[in-house]
Chains A and B, each alone.
Chain A
Amino acid sequence: AQSVTQPDIHITVSEGASLELRCNYSYGATPYLFWYVQSPGQGLQLLLKYFSGDTLVQGIKGFEAEFKRSQSSFNLRKPSVHWSDAAEYFCAVLAGAQKLVFGQGTRLTINP
């Protein structure tokens, strides 16, 4: 069955520091992968997605992610975080035609 693992439940970084959030997936075929962000009391917002082609994808708010088939990973990165990036981040894989399977999420805290 398809699954997504986000190994880090909570990460704290200083404002201006670089960020990498880990995501590992289990899927038999070429995966369609997504990163979503959820701020308190808000719905999920799509940051970026990978369907095929270039393995380095750019998203909104300065985020990027790299698909590595050999490692079954799709890690999210940002060169320099801002206080407004504090939120919960979810990695997801498309399972079936329309169903997303999400990871448990990583809560990001930003130190001033």
Chain B
Amino acid sequence: GAGVSQSPRYKVAKRGQDVALRCDPISGHVSLFWYQQALGQGPEFLTYFQNEAQLDKSGLPSDRFFAERPEGSVSTLKIQRTQQEDSAVYLCASSTRTGFAEAFFGQGTRLTVV
């Protein structure tokens, strides 16, 4: 597709359940980012990939959060043993290699933990 695609759009998980959120970046985009947006807040950085290398994971809130991009294209954000405070919209973005270029954002996955 032409834009960043995220799936599922909505996810309801019971507390303690594991979830996996998928991001398909724009074809050819080297850089990929994950952000977490809590209700009424701005997005907060989680992690950054350049190709398959995870160069910055400083924003991951706990060791329950894990992200991967094994072939340098599709990325998965996994949250283990979900907690209520994990409820948020998870945004994925991708950009080209040339310095910091415009990051194109997907529509996000809204995760609700009940």
Are A and B co-members of a single complex? yes
Interface residues of A (CB under 8 A from B): 4, 32, 36, 41-46, 49, 90, 92, 94, 96-105
Q: Does B72 contact A (CB under 8 A)?
A: no
At the interface, yes or no: B18 with Cβ under 8 Å from chain A? no
Question: What is the chain B residue whose CB lies nearest that of A102?
Answer: B42
Stretch of B62-70, B79-87, B99-107 lying at the A interface: B99-107
* Interface size band for B: 20 to 34
What is the minimal beta-carbon distance from B102 to any residue of chain A, in angstroms? Answer: 5
Give the Cβ gap from B48 to chain A, nearest Cβ, in Å: 5
Name the A residues within 8 Å of B56 (CB-CB).
96, 98-99
- A46 cross-chain contacts in B, Cβ below 8 A: 102-103
Residues of B that sit less than 8 Å from A by CB: 4, 31, 33, 35, 40-45, 48, 55-56, 59, 91, 93, 95, 100, 102-103, 105-108
For B91, give the chain A residue with the smallest CB separation. Answer: A43
On whether the beta carbons of A43 and B108 are closer than 8 Å, the reply is yes
Cα A90 to Cα B59 with chains together (Å): 19
- CB-CB < 8 A to B107: which residues of A? 41-43
Contacts of A100 in B (CB 8 A): 33, 35, 43, 45, 103
A109 and B106 alpha carbons, distance in the complex (Å): 24
Interface centre among B56, B93, B95, B103 (most CB of A within 10 A): B103
Per the bound structure, the CA–CA distance linking A90 and B107 in Å amounts to 15
Q: Which residues of chain A are near B45, meaning CB under 8 Å?
A: 99-101
